[in-house]
């Protein structure tokens, strides 16, 4: 349905509400948390449900070699404007992360299906394994489309139960030998609708976030080696306690990033202490650091500060420290022209908007390396995400999907 005067396309609120509710029951546990992992039963049920909805909406369904689900509205040209997000969840996750971009995109194409034949083809996609909740293969669906899956991955990667990725694919009716056929060279643009997963939009009362950049992430492992000693017989002044030194490092690193202020974030979420007994002074402590900032120069300056802190604290505590880089992602800039189209779409829909960096990582950061890409955020109530408490008001979902539909209309018709 097109509102000619305002040039806005409005999605059907009842349809989108039904999609959110029904998809939110597939993989739901009694506590309301979602667990929908790549190729498992819930994932397969979601795939089959989406294929049915795609057909109902008058679109052409297709499942590619890795299980990405597409709904196609053919245009005069075979070049494709693509929208969508991921359908897998984190363990005990929410009903909106990823899912909203899939069903919002579907509701948008359903609204556009009645507007005649577009100049460019429109597709919606449900991408698989963004979160790497089951296999250490994040962005699996997006990587398949971009031809970035390593030839040995299906025979090498295993889930926590030891199931091989190739066997899980066969279980879901997919042929690992066909992965290469998922590669696409016909994409002109990718738009991803997503919940913010933070509280900026909710706190400021803004309807729509236009993502300018997805931040660079650095992961490091910091290993501190002290001396393992008896907890009763070793005086405090003679100890080289690895955990106390590591805890001091974590505290000072956190202080440094707090001082930098928003949007810099640092998290030390995983800890190992050896030997890990009440009566032994720890000889080894190891912790992870996840540090993010949208500006690579700022991130690297903070990392230099982190390394200085580690050296200083190690010296003061008489311990050894060793830092290894596990992950080093470049920031991904969103496409300026697409952002302008999304901004105009927001204005046509009467929505307030602001440009902002993303807090989390998304399929869009990888897609942006090959295809002009933009992201549209809607508010997350209280900024909650990756928890059953994750929630976005239906009115915000509808507004976001309508902004998406309006942008797709401008891009494809
Ligand atoms: Zn997500």
pTM for this entry: 0.89
**Å from CA of 85 to ligand 1 middle:** 7
Distance 356 CA to ligand 1 centre (A): 17
Q: Which residue has the tokens 């295993």?
A: 158
Who wins on pLDDT, 138 or 254? 254
Ligand 1 mean position to 192 CA, how many Å?
10
- DSSP letters, 65-104, are TT--EEEEE--SEEEEEEEEEE----TTB-SSTTHHHHHH
86 Cα: distance to centroid of ligand 1 (angstroms)? 6
pLDDT for the residue 1:
41
Q: Is the pLDDT of residue 3 over 60?
A: no
Mean pLDDT of 344-372: 96
| CA of 362 relative to ligand 1 center, distance in Å | 6
Query: Under a CB-based contact definition with an 8 Å cutoff, are residues 24 and 99 in contact?
Result: yes
pLDDT tens per residue across span 17-48: 999 999 999 999 988 899 999 999 999 999 99
Ordered by where they begin, the domains of the chain are 2-214+331-412 (3.40.630.10), 216-328 (3.30.70.360)
Q: 363 C-alpha to center of ligand 1: Å?
A: 8
* Å from CA of 24 to ligand 1 middle: 14
Mean pLDDT to the nearest integer, 94-98: 97
**CA 92 / ligand 1 centre spacing (Å):** 14
Q: How far is the centre of ligand 1, averaged over its atoms, from the C-alpha of 98 (Å)?
A: 4
From the CA of 77, how far away is ligand 1's center (Å)? 30
Answer for the pair 182, 145: CB distance below 8 angstroms, yes or no: yes
**What is the distance in A from the centroid of ligand 1 to the CA of 97?**
5
State in Å: Cα 12 to ligand 1 middle: 23
Query: Residue 2 pLDDT > 70, yes or no?
Result: no
Q: What's the CA gap between 125 and 84, in Å, rounded?
A: 5
Q: pLDDT confidence of 6, banded at 50, 70, 90?
A: low
Four-point Cα dihedral 321, 323, 324, 327, nearest 10: 150
What's the 140 CA to ligand 1 centre distance in angstroms? Answer: 13
Query: Residue 23 Cα, ligand 1 centroid: separation in angstroms?
Result: 15
Phi-psi region of 98 (alpha: psi -120 to 50; beta: other; left: phi over 0): left
Q: How far is the CA of 194 from the centre of ligand 1 (A)?
A: 7
Spacing, Cα 239 to ligand 1 middle (Å): 45
pLDDT at 31: 86
Task: Tell which residue, 328, 347, 320, has the closest CA to residue 403.
Answer: 347
pLDDT, the chain, mean:
96
Number of H helices, E strands in the chain: 12, 18
In angstroms, what is the span from residue 226 Cα to ligand 1's centroid? 40
- Region at 350 (left for phi over 0; alpha for psi -120 to 50; beta for the rest): left
Distance 107 CA to ligand 1 centre (A): 18
The predicted model gives 181-196 an average pLDDT of: 98
Hey, what are 21's tokens? 């509710």
Cα(133) to ligand 1 centroid in Å equals: 12
Q: What is residue 253's predicted lDDT score, i.e. its pLDDT?
A: 98
Please give the distance, rounded to the nearest whole angstrom, from the Cα atom of residue 367 to the centre of ligand 1.
14
**What's the gap in Å between 89 CA and the centre of ligand 1?**
8
The arithmetic mean of pLDDT across residues 222-247, rounded, is 97
pLDDT tens digits along 262-310: 999 999 999 999 999 999 999 999 999 999 999 999 999 999 999 999 9
92, pLDDT greater than 90: yes
Neighbour count for residue 174 (Cβ, 10 Å): 21
209 CA to middle of ligand 1, Å?
15
Read off the pLDDT of residues 58-77 as tens digits, 9 standing for 90 and up.
999 999 999 999 999 999 99
At 367, the pLDDT band (50, 70, 90 cuts) reads: very high
Three-state DSSP class for 120?
Answer: strand
Cα 374 to ligand 1 centroid, rounded to whole Å: 14
Q: Measure the CA–CA gap between 130 and 120, rounded to whole angstroms.
A: 27
Q: Which is higher by pLDDT, 2 or 148? A: 148
For residue 88 the two structure tokens come to: 């897998």
């Amino acid at each position: 349905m097109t509102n000619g005067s305002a040039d806005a396309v409005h999605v059907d609120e009842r349809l989108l509400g039904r999609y959110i509710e029904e998809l939110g029951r597939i993989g739901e546990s009694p506590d309301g948390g979602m667990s929908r992992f790549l190729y498992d039963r819930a994932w397969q049920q979601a795939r089959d449900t989406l294929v049915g909805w795609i057909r109902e909406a008058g679109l052409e369904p297709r499942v590619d070699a890795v299980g990405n689900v597409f709904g196609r509205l053919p245009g005069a040209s075979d070049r494709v404007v693509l929208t969508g997000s991921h359908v897998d969840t984190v363990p005990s996750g929410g009903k909106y992360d990823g899912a909203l971009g899939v069903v919002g995109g579907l509701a948008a194409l359903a609204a556009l299906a009645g507007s005649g034949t577009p100049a460019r083809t429109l597709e919606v996609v449900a991408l698989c394994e963004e979160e790497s909740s089951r296999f250490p293969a994040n962005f699996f669906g997006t990587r398949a489309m971009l031809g970035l899956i390593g030839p040995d991955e299906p025979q090498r990667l295993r889930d926590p139960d030891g199931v091989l990725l190739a066997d899980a694919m066969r279980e879901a009716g997919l042929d690992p030998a066909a992965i290469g056929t998922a590669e696409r060279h016909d994409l002109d643009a990718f738009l991803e609708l997503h919940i913010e997963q933070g509280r900026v939009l909710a706190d400021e009362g803004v309807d729509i976030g236009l993502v300018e950049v997805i931040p660079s992430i650095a992961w490091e492992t910091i290993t501190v080696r002290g001396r393992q000693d008896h907890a009763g017989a070793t005086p405090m002044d003679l100890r080289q306690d690895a955990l106390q030194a590591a805890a001091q490092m974590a505290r000072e690193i956190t202080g440094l990033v707090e001082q930098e202020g928003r949007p810099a974030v640092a998290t030390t979420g995983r800890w190992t202490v050896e030997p890990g007994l009440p009566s032994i002074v720890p000889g080894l402590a190891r912790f992870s650091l996840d540090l993010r900032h949208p500006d690579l120069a700022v991130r690297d300056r903070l990392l230099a500060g982190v390394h200085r802190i580690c050296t200083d604290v190690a010296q003061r505590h008489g311990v050894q420290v060793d830092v290894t880089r596990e992950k080093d992602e470049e920031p991904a800039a969103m496409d300026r022209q697409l952002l302008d189209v999304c901004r105009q779409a927001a204005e046509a829909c009467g929505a307030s908007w602001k440009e902002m960096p993303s807090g989390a990582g998304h399929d869009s950061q990888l897609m942006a390396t090959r295809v002009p890409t933009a992201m549209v955020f809607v508010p997350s109530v209280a900024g909650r995400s990756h928890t059953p408490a994750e929630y976005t008001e239906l009115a915000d979902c509808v507004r976001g999907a309508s902004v998406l539909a309006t942008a797709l209309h401008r891009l494809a018709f």
